[in-house]
Structure 1
Amino acid sequence: MCSIEYDAEVSALPKHLDISFFEEVLDTALRTSKAKVLSIHIKMGSNTGENYCSQIYRTKISFQLPGKPVQTMMFIVKSIPRLESVEFIEDLQVYLKEKVTYYDVLPRLELLMKCKQRFGPKLYHCIKQPESTMVFEDLGHLGYVMASRELGLDEEHCRLVMERLGEFHATSMALAELDPHIFEAYSDGMLSPQGLAKGDGLLMSFFSGNGQELLNLVNTWPGFERIAGKIAKYLQNHRANLERSQAPQDKEIRVLNHGDLWVNNMMFKYDGNKRPQDLVLIDFQMSVWGSPGIDLNYFFYTSLNLEVLRHKRPQLLHVYHSRLAETLRNLEVNVPVPSYEQILEEVHRREAYGFFANYGIFPTISQDKSQTADNNLESFKDADFAKQKLRQMFSSRRLADTLQYTLPHFERAGVLG
Structure 2
Amino acid sequence: MRAKNFCVRFCTDISDFIVQKLNFPPTQLKHLQIINGRVYVGTESPEIAQNMVQSHNRQHELVHDGKLYRIPLSMEDNTDKFTLCEKRPGKIFGPAYPTAFWSLRGLRVYKCELKQLIADHQPAVIAIQETVVSAETLPADFIGKDNKLLVESGLSYTWTHGVGLAMHEGIHFERLQIQTTLQAIAIRTQIPTAVTVVSIYLPPNSGHFGDQLEELLEQLPELALILGDFNTHRDAWGFCRADSLGRFIAEKALMRKLQLTTETIDRVLINELRSQDLLVDSLDISPATSSGDNYMSDVFRIHVQFRISSTVQTVQKISLVVKCLPSTGSRGSVIEEMILYEQEAEMFLTVIPQLSRIANNEFFAAKCYHATRVPERMLIFQEFKSLNYTMANRLTGLDFDHCALIMRKIGKFHAASMPYIEHHMDLVDKFFHFNIFNPSVEKQSELVDVIFEKGLRTLIEVAESSWDNFDPKILAKLKKLLPNYVSKLEACLTQKFDDAFNAFKVLNHGDLWCNNMLFKYSEKSGKVTDVVFVDFQISFYSSPGLDLNYAIATCPNLATRDRSDELIAIYHQALSETLKSVHYPRIPTLNDVYHEIRRMEFYALVLILSIAMMKKTDSAEASFEAFCDEEVAAKARRIQYSGKTFQTIVKPMLKQFDERKLLDV
1:260 equivalenced with 2:518 (yes/no)? no
1:270 to 489, 510, 521: 521
Task: Decide whether aligned partners of structure 1 residues 286 and 29 sit closer, same or farther in structure 2, where only a CA change above 3 A counts.
Answer: same
1:186 maps to what in 2? 432
Q: How do 1:163-242 residues align onto structure 2 when only pairs under 5 Å count?
A: 163-184=408-429, 185-192=431-438, 197-198=443-444, 201-220=446-465, 221=467, 222-242=469-489
1:22 equivalenced with 2:270 (yes/no)? no
2:648 maps to what in 1? 401
Task: Decide whether aligned partners of structure 1 residues 26 and 349 sit closer, same or farther in structure 2, where only a CA change above 3 A counts.
Answer: same
Post-superposition offset of 1:113: 2.1
What are the ranges of 5 or more consecutive residues in structure 2 without an aligned counterpart? Answer: 1-220, 223-247
State how far apart, in whole Å, the 2-side matches of 1:204 and 1:84 are: 18
SS in 2 for 1:12: helix
1:306 equivalenced with 2:569 (yes/no)? no
1:112 maps to what in 2? 358
Task: Decide whether aligned partners of structure 1 residues 350 and 381 sit closer, same or farther in structure 2, where only a CA change above 3 A counts.
Answer: closer
Q: How do 1:140-159 residues align onto structure 2 when only pairs under 5 Å count?
A: 140-159=385-404
Post-superposition CA distance 1:167-194 (Å, at most 9, x none): 0000000212343434222112135566
RMSD, aligned CA: 2.2
Q: Contact 1:209–1:390 (CA<8 Å) still a contact in 2?
A: no
State how far apart, in whole Å, the 1-side matches of 2:642 and 2:584 are: 50
Q: Contact 2:356–2:364 (CA<8 Å) still a contact in 1?
A: yes
Q: Contact 2:292–2:615 (CA<8 Å) still a contact in 1?
A: no
Answer 1 or 2: which has greater strand percent.
2
Task: Decide whether aligned partners of structure 1 residues 56 and 398 sit closer, same or farther in structure 2, where only a CA change above 3 A counts.
Answer: same
Task: Decide whether aligned partners of structure 1 residues 191 and 403 sit closer, same or farther in structure 2, where only a CA change above 3 A counts.
Answer: farther
1:289 to 527, 536, 541: 541
1:333 maps to what in 2? 584
1:324 equivalenced with 2:575 (yes/no)? yes
Answer 1 or 2: which has greater helix percent.
1
Q: Relative contact order (C-alpha < 8 Å, sep 6+): which is higher?
A: 1
2:319 maps to what in 1? 74
Post-superposition CA distance 1:141-189 (Å, at most 9, x none): 1100011100111000111111101100000002123434342221121
State how far apart, in whole Å, the 2-side matches of 1:203 and 1:123 are: 30
Post-superposition CA distance 1:272-319 (Å, at most 9, x none): 21211111111000101000000000111111112211x100010000
1:102 maps to what in 2? 348
State how far apart, in whole Å, the 2-side matches of 1:193 and 1:215 are: 30
State how far apart, in whole Å, the 2-side matches of 1:98 and 1:127 are: 12
Matched length? 405
Task: Decide whether aligned partners of structure 1 residues 263 and 93 sit closer, same or farther in structure 2, where only a CA change above 3 A counts.
Answer: same
2:336 maps to what in 1? 90
User: Counterpart of 1:102 in structure 2: which amino acid?
Assistant: F
State how far apart, in whole Å, the 2-side matches of 1:114 and 1:393 are: 42
User: Counterpart of 2:253 in structure 1: which amino acid?
Assistant: A
User: Counterpart of 1:25 in structure 2: which amino acid?
Assistant: V
State how far apart, in whole Å, the 1-side matches of 2:645 and 2:376 are: 37
Higher Rg = 2
2:295 to 52, 61, 70: 52
1:315 maps to what in 2? 566
Post-superposition offset of 1:15: 4.9
2:595 to 342, 345, 361: 345
SS in 2 for 1:134: strand
1:35 to 272, 278, 281: 278
User: Counterpart of 2:327 in structure 1: which amino acid?
Assistant: R
What are the ranges of 5 or more consecutive residues in structure 1 without an aligned counterpart? Answer: none
Task: Decide whether aligned partners of structure 1 residues 330 and 380 sit closer, same or farther in structure 2, where only a CA change above 3 A counts.
Answer: closer
1:376 equivalenced with 2:619 (yes/no)? no
State how far apart, in whole Å, the 2-side matches of 1:266 and 1:324 are: 19
Instruction: Tell me the TM-score normalised to structure 1 length.
Output: 0.91
State how far apart, in whole Å, the 1-side matches of 2:440 and 2:472 are: 34
State how far apart, in whole Å, the 2-side matches of 1:410 and 1:257 are: 23
Post-superposition offset of 1:106: 0.5
User: Counterpart of 2:518 in structure 1: which amino acid?
Assistant: M
Task: Decide whether aligned partners of structure 1 residues 243 and 37 sit closer, same or farther in structure 2, where only a CA change above 3 A counts.
Answer: same
State how far apart, in whole Å, the 2-side matches of 1:381 and 1:191 are: 17
2:11 maps to what in 1? none
SS in 1 for 2:648: helix
1:135 equivalenced with 2:135 (yes/no)? no
Task: Decide whether aligned partners of structure 1 residues 253 and 303 sit closer, same or farther in structure 2, where only a CA change above 3 A counts.
Answer: same
Post-superposition offset of 1:29: 2.9
Q: Contact 1:196–1:204 (CA<8 Å) still a contact in 2?
A: no
Q: Contact 2:285–2:300 (CA<8 Å) still a contact in 1?
A: yes
State how far apart, in whole Å, the 1-side matches of 2:412 and 2:384 are: 20
SS in 1 for 2:560: helix
User: Counterpart of 1:125 in structure 2: which amino acid?
Assistant: H
Q: Percent of aligned positions with the same letter in both sequences?
A: 29
Question: Which deviates the most, 345-354 or 48-57?
Answer: 48-57
SS in 1 for 2:396: coil
Post-superposition offset of 1:43: 1.1
State how far apart, in whole Å, the 2-side matches of 1:375 and 1:359 are: 14
